[in-house]
Amino acid sequence: MDFHIMDNSRSEIQLRLSQNSDLPRLEEIRQAAFAPIFESFRSIMGEVTYNLAQAHEDNAQGELLASLFKDDSGWTVYVAEYAGNITGFVSLQLNPDTKIGEIGLNAVHPDYANRGIGTLMYEFAALKMKEAGMAVATVSTGGDPSHAPARKAYRKAGFEVEVPSVWFCRKL
């Protein structure tokens, strides 16, 4: 095991390198964690625009998760375990040329929200990046209300420089 911490309830949170056998559980976590986000996008964009501009991305996210496990993906996936259950995952990519580490697809199962698991995963990812000689850690997330918990966890993990971005859609 790579990293562990005791939380307030004295249950242990552990982070470890993922295994291919973890993928079905990570897919469950991804689906549960992103369902409210996809619904938020649908609500913000409206059904027609969502189906035209965003639904294909949301539907392909499961394939994206599976692709992170390929040997040549360039990504490393770690899982978080809380009280013996896989409760979250975080992917990271290291670029030795630019010295930039990136947190990619990640999630914590909603049943385990607000226990510090996300923050711990991001602190762990930053530590791995620093150990690998990266100079900067990056992560991207949405600015909509459904991404507020992710933004909060990133801030708690020390991500303090924010560059706002806006994505516009127009049905033609």
pLDDT in tens, 43-77: 999 999 999 999 999 999 999 999 999 999 999 99
Can you give the pLDDT at residue 6? 44
In the structure, what pLDDT confidence band is assigned to residue 4 with cuts at 50, 70 and 90?
low
Q: Check pLDDT > 60 for residue 5.
A: no
What's 137's domain CATH number?
3.40.630.30
Cβ contacts of 77 within 8 Å, gap of 6 or more: 17, 18, 26, 68, 69, 89, 90, 91
Q: Check pLDDT > 50 for residue 1.
A: no
Parent domain of 125: 3-156
First to last CA, the chain: 52
Q: Are strands 100-108 and 136-139 parallel, antiparallel or unpaired?
A: parallel
Structure pTM? 0.91
Query: Is residue 167 domain-resident?
Result: no
Query: Is residue 123 domain-resident?
Result: yes
Tell whether the torsion through CA atoms of 102, 106, 112 and 114 is positive or negative.
positive
Query: Is residue 67 domain-resident?
Result: yes
In the structure, what pLDDT confidence band is assigned to residue 12 with cuts at 50, 70 and 90?
confident
Query: Is residue 23 domain-resident?
Result: yes
Can you give the pLDDT at residue 98? 98
Mean pLDDT on 133-151: 95
Mean pLDDT on 83-91: 95
Query: Is residue 165 domain-resident?
Result: no
Query: Is residue 102 domain-resident?
Result: yes
Can you give the pLDDT at residue 83? 87
The chain-wide mean pLDDT, for the chain, equals: 93
Query: Is residue 162 domain-resident?
Result: no
- Strand order through the sheet with 85-95: 3-6, 12-17, 76-82, 85-95, 100-108, 136-139
* Structural domain count, the chain: 1
Can you give the pLDDT at residue 81? 96
Query: Is residue 163 domain-resident?
Result: no
Q: Give the Cα separation of 150 and 28 in Å (integer).
A: 18
| Distance from the Cα of residue 65 to its chain's centroid | 10
Can you give the pLDDT at residue 154? 95
Q: Give the Cα separation of 135 and 123 in Å (integer).
A: 15
Mean pLDDT on 138-153: 93
